[in-house]
Amino acid sequence: MANTSCPVAAAALLLAASVSAQTGQNGDTDFDWGERTTSYPPSFDEQFRAPIVATPIDLDVETVVSGVVYPWAIENLPGDSGYLVTERTGTVRHLTSNGELSAPLSGTPEVHNEQQGGMLDVETGPNFADDRMVYLSYSKPTGTNADGNTMSATAVGRGRLADDFSAIEGFEDIWVQEPPAPEPLHYGSRIAFDEEGHVFITTGERFTFENRPLAQQLGTTLGKTIRVHPDGSIPEDNPFVGNPDANDSIWSYGHRNIEGAQVVDGQLVVLEMGPQGGDEINRIEPGQNYGWPLVSYGERYEQFGGEPVGTGQATIENAVEPIYFWDPVIAPSDFVVYEGDMFQEWEGDYLISALVAGGLVRISLGEDGRVEAEERLLSDVGHTRDVEVDDDGSLLLATDQEDGRILRVSRP
């Protein structure tokens, strides 16, 4: 679902065509949710279709740079050092604050660039000011199978960003998903850090009917969130340490495809792409099961019969409920928790980049941690892959296109 050349993504786009047909740069109170794909009732009122609101402000959108090939992630560098941008095709580039895009940085890993595979997330490490360490997630080629198909796995590694921004020096993997798979789909993957410096990595279950049950198997790292130290070693308090049948790096399990992640008030929060219907916001509790592929608020894609997922239920005992879900889907790709001076009305809100809804989806939460309002913004800019807050509080958006753009959203 990460690009429209994939049949899964095309199905999702057709499904949610009515969702993306909004106009205007401000929020739209006349927004039409569209028809549901399933009839599963939410477990609590605030879990689904929060009141649609519109912020009474104008927004300016300007192109910082165009010609970025399927940009996947933007990372704001400290000071006036510009940004790092990944291109799914396999490169990392430096972008100056003046909009000058560098040649591809040297020293980056080889990627499996096919469908949803390629260069994915980029994050500066928690001690970047001292060590200039940069972390990358990507689809790592691991050989071929008996049929001659390339095998690949989600991987995360790190290296030092050169002082002149021309290279990532000494790059090495700190974590590689197990087992690899031939399907170039559902890699995840975002990187997030907590205040103690732990590295959280999100993954996918690699899509197929054969692979997805592995999301429930603790001996694999498909369909899991991962928690490691910056060098890839395992924290002793990870929930499955000491379990001989589990991978020690696992933090939670039962996930489909997580492309958004932030640590919020010390807790990992993720955005999870559902099937046909059933995109989710999940707060991650260590060691817990999030249900996929046993349960979902969505259903299988039409080309696979449109049948119920797993048990045919949206909930099951001992599986954690999402705090919010969408049906039809928005295809959430990443989000930020807004902190800044420019849009003080949105302080603490989730601003979500979305491949199907387009533009931004804003989620406002109440003091009880439940969703109290939703806003759709800038849907006319099309599919967005990442969102970042700049130092002045303006927003940077990456559009998911072959001739992709980095956009700046600000007040007039």
Assigned superfamily of 7-410:
TolB, C-terminal domain (2.120.10.30)
Percent of the chain residues topping a pLDDT of 90: 91
Quick one: tokens of 59? 């927004």
186 part of the active site? yes
Residues sharing a CB contact under 8 Å with residue 367, sequence separation 6 or more, in sequence order: none
Mean pLDDT, all residues of the chain: 93
Amino acid, res. 25: Q
Looking at 94, 112, 186, 383, which residue is catalytic? 186
pLDDT tens for 151-166 read 999 999 999 999 999 9
pTM for the model stands at 0.92
Residue-range domain boundaries for the chain: 7-410
Assess contact for 290 and 349: CB atoms under 8 A.
no
Q: Quick one: average pLDDT of 46-75?
A: 97
Q: Quick one: average pLDDT of 180-200?
A: 97
Percent of the chain residues topping a pLDDT of 70: 93
At 26 the pLDDT is 59
- Strands, E assignment, 254-354: 258-264, 267-272, 279-283, 324-326, 332-337, 350-354
